[in-house]
Amino acid sequence: MVVKRKLPEWFKVKSPGSENFISLKSKISGASLNTVCEEAACPNIGDCWDRGTATFMILGDTCTRACSYCNVKTGWPNTIDLLEPHRVASTVKKMNLKYTVITSVDRDDLDDYGSGIFAKTIEEVRKLSPKCKIEVLIPDFEGDFDSLKKVIIAKPQVLNHNIETVRRVFKKVRPRGNYDLSLNLINNVKKINPKIPTKSGMMVGLGETKEEMISTMNELVDSNCDLLTIGQYLRPTKKHHPIIRFYHPDEFEDLKELGLKIGFKHVASGPLVRSSYHADEQHDAAIEKLIDQSILN
């Protein structure tokens, strides 16, 4: 039986309010952009913005899918904003970001699944902020190889696609997704450009077992995934998938050690870890390991 669960004490974080945070918030206001940092009320927003990193959600605020863990509204937008890439780039420059993550809703209504806007956004950010590193967190593009290739040709520093959960639980929370297709997408990144670090993320607390977590981590590494994030699932509303249990910080540390032993180049694991958590550190760790392995030489 699933019962209502009170957040454990380790979820308490200090509200952001530094001078730098307030300054960055004022710069993003009025740009008609969605930041995951704000939209998802991310607990790490103060830390990330102070580090000079932020995550932008492009292609609107309406997703063509309805995952049971996600609070983004569902619909069939059928429109795109061609000026959005430039607005993102202008905001990145105003915020003087060192590292930016660009993600999106699923856009199954578009012929290229939104990959063209991803590529254009990368190009625009690089044009205005050439020193800013760019990570993309992409949907599965329904496995379309040409759409994936379009994004990779734009040369982001990191290509991220979240598997989200273990194989057994996957269909319950991502009914329109495909576990093997997601693994294949990550593997295809290296086929197109072996020099781009690949990344994925998992949530815990959805009903998975430790053995299933280990199995998924092994499958990710076998699919040439370099980086991993692991965080606690938090239920947005009562209509969403219930929290089966909370993991203790010690368990997250254990999962981190397991992930490193399995073969990831870096693992960020903790109750409040999200896909973009210390993304700059993960990028640097991946590059260092890839150089050591002579992949970037």
- The total of structural domains in the chain comes to 1
* Residue 30: per-residue pLDDT: 58
Torsion, Cα of 168, 138, 108, 176 (10° steps)? 10
Q: 297 in a domain, yes or no? A: no
Which one, of 175, 151, 171, lies nearest residue 161 by Cα? 151
* Residue 1: per-residue pLDDT: 44
- CATH number of the domain at 249, please: 3.20.20.70
Q: In what order do the strands lie in the sheet with 53-58?
A: 34-35, 53-58, 99-104, 133-137, 158-160, 198-204, 227-232, 266-269
Q: 95 in a domain, yes or no? A: yes
Q: 5 in a domain, yes or no? A: no
Q: 259 in a domain, yes or no? A: yes
* Residue 192: per-residue pLDDT: 97
The answer for residues whose C-beta is within 8 angstroms of residue 287's C-beta and 6 or more apart is 197, 296
* Residue 78: per-residue pLDDT: 84
* Residue 45: per-residue pLDDT: 58
* Residue 34: per-residue pLDDT: 63
Rounded-to-integer distance, Cα 151 and Cα 72, Å: 23
Q: 11 in a domain, yes or no? A: no
The whole domain housing 207 covers: 17-292
Q: 160 in a domain, yes or no? A: yes
Q: 9 in a domain, yes or no? A: no
The one-digit pLDDT tens for each residue of the chain (297 residues) are 444 567 888 777 665 555 555 555 555 655 566 655 454 455 555 555 556 678 899 999 889 998 888 878 889 998 899 999 999 999 999 988 999 999 999 999 999 999 999 999 999 999 999 999 999 999 999 999 999 999 999 999 999 999 999 999 999 999 899 999 999 999 999 999 999 999 999 999 999 999 999 999 999 999 999 999 999 998 888 888 999 999 999 999 999 999 999 999 999 999 989 887 777 778 887 777 777 776 776
On whether the pTM is more than 0.85, the answer is yes
Q: 146 in a domain, yes or no? A: yes
The pair of three-digit structure tokens given for residue 177, joined into one six-digit string = 């997704």
Please count the CA atoms within 13 angstroms of the CA of 28 that sit on its side-chain side. 24
